[in-house]
Structure 1
Amino acid sequence: MNMLESRWYRALEVCANFLYLNLLWLVCSTLVITFPASTAAMFGVVREWVKGREPGVTGSFFSFFRENFRQSTWIGFLWALVGVILVVDFAVVRGMGSPVREILYVVLFVVCFLYVFTLVYIFPVIVNFETRWPLVIRNALLFSMTGPLVTFACLLVLILAAAAFVFFPLSIFVSGSVGSYLVYRLCERTFEKVERIRGRDGEDR
């Protein structure tokens, strides 16, 4: 096998892994309650890829699924609940009179901003750090604020993945795994940046 054939085979193997991982994610997300754990499992697998490790997709996926099921499910439920509360709050504020309405709108938009920013990092934090769920949320918020440009880039990736599904429905078979890979690769930069800062602080002390 020459070099060109080897590269072609490698490219096909990578594409097949992304497709297979995406299918696992879709199948395991069919029940709404399993969506957070399935998403955490997908991020766990792409984390291994970003780190340069290539474990078996099936075994790694279900290992991460079981490992993160409880925590990711609770966080997913909490985040969905907060999202519903925000929607209800907007509906309530809409019926209020000025100028109270404008002030509350500003407050709600700030909360939504933090809500979305934190959501970007939740699953990368779950699979990258072993910590309790309140700290997962706190760390996700702090990381999102530490690297705002990276956070915006992650949001752009997610928006493009959603747009791809709207205009090209068949992209659903790859958009999840590819999107999560790109998001985690971006988040990894923030993780490394924070680790470097902590390292320098430790040397200063």
Structure 2
Amino acid sequence: MDNLFVRINTIFEWIMKFAGTNLLWVLFNFPIVYLTMSLLFVENTSQAMMIMITIAVLAPFIFFPATIAMFGVVRKWVMKDDVSLMRFYWKYYKENYKASMIGGLIISLLWVIIGFDYYYFQTSIPLVSYIFILLLICLFVFTVYFCANTVHTEAKLKQSMRNAFVLAIVNPIFSFGIAIINIAILYISIQYLTFLLPFFSGSLIAFISFLGYYKVFNQVVALQEPETIN
């Protein structure tokens, strides 16, 4: 009976961790959350494009710092460290703001370019658009690995982006699997279980992504010993 209560308590602790972190992430992303919700009520394509462009402009300054801070908290869980949510979230937010902003500018530009190409070819040459779907999946993996590497290593921005690229391609099947799982979580959250969006979706995706990154990172480090990639 005692073991049962311990397990139930552990489950509730993890639920609170995910929910608290996700709510904090949503709060720091409020302008982008508001604009994203506005997409549900647009009346034409031009309005949707204007909102998406605004989101892309704001992402480096809001989304990436908030997301990398969330990855910092999630990393502590994986490392089995006890953390004060508010204190460590704010700590990672401040410490990594510049790197996350500059990295976010580069990555956001890539998302805009590939996303625009996908939209263009989807309407003109649908078969070619599948290539850009694959590129978007690869970019998703690169993005989450960049967020994870930023908080896990002390590498400079250029090296951190290089690490993220190397780790994304060193085990492509595993990385592709991580992307598909995360996309499935996002799809289910949007289409069927919308209550997950404010409470669990972001933190769950960050947790799964960091676990995947950490596994690949350790594999590469083991192969390169005594030389490391950070």
TM-score, normalised to structure 1, is 0.83
Query: What is residue 20 of structure 2 aligned with on the other side?
Result: 20
> Which residue of structure 2 lines up, in the alignment, with residue 5 of structure 1?
5
Q: 1:36 to 1:4 in 2, by over 3 A?
A: same
Could you tell me how far apart the structure 2 residues matched to 1:164 and 1:123 are?
A: 23
| Contiguous gaps of at least 5 residues in structure 2 | 33-60
TM-aligned CA distance change 1:175 to 1:110, over 3 Å: closer
- Change in CA separation of 1:201 and 1:140 when aligned onto 2, cut-off 3 Å: closer
Aligned to 1:137: 161
Instruction: Indicate the RMSD between aligned Cα atoms, in angstroms.
Output: 2.8
Contact 2:19/2:200, CA 8 A, preserved across alignment? yes
Q: Which SS does the other structure have where 2:62 is aligned?
A: helix
Number of equivalenced pairs: 198
Say if 2:78 is the partner of 1:53.
no
1:74 aligns with 2:102: yes
Moved over 4 A (4+): 88-97, 104-114
> 1:190 deviation in Å?
0.5
- 1:45-194 equivalences under 5 Å are 45-89=73-117, 112=136, 114-166=138-190, 167-172=192-197, 173-194=199-220
Q: 1:3 to 1:192 in 2, by over 3 A?
A: same
Q: Which runs of 5+ in 1 are unaligned?
A: none
What SS does the aligned partner of 1:169 have?
coil
3-state secondary structure, aligned to 1:174: helix
The two structures have a TM-score, normalised by structure 2, of 0.75
Structure 1 position 197, deviation (Å): 0.8
Q: What's the CA shift for 1:120?
A: 3.4
- Indicate the SS of the match to 1:131: coil
Residues 59 and 96 of structure 1: CA distance in aligned 2, closer, same or farther (over 3 Å)? closer
Question: Residues 2 and 68 from structure 1, CA distance in 2 versus in 1: closer, same or farther, beyond 3 angstroms?
Answer: same
- CA contact under 8 A between 2:144 and 2:206: conserved in structure 1? no
Worse-matched range after superposition: 142-151 or 193-202: 193-202
The Cα offsets for residues 28-49 of structure 1, whole Å up to 9 and x where unpaired, read as 1113432111100111111111
CA positional deviation for 1:196 = 0.6
Give the whole-Å Cα distance in 1 for the aligned partners of 2:20 and 2:122: 45
1:80-106 deviations in Å (ceiling 9; x for gaps): 112222344556778999xxxx9x979
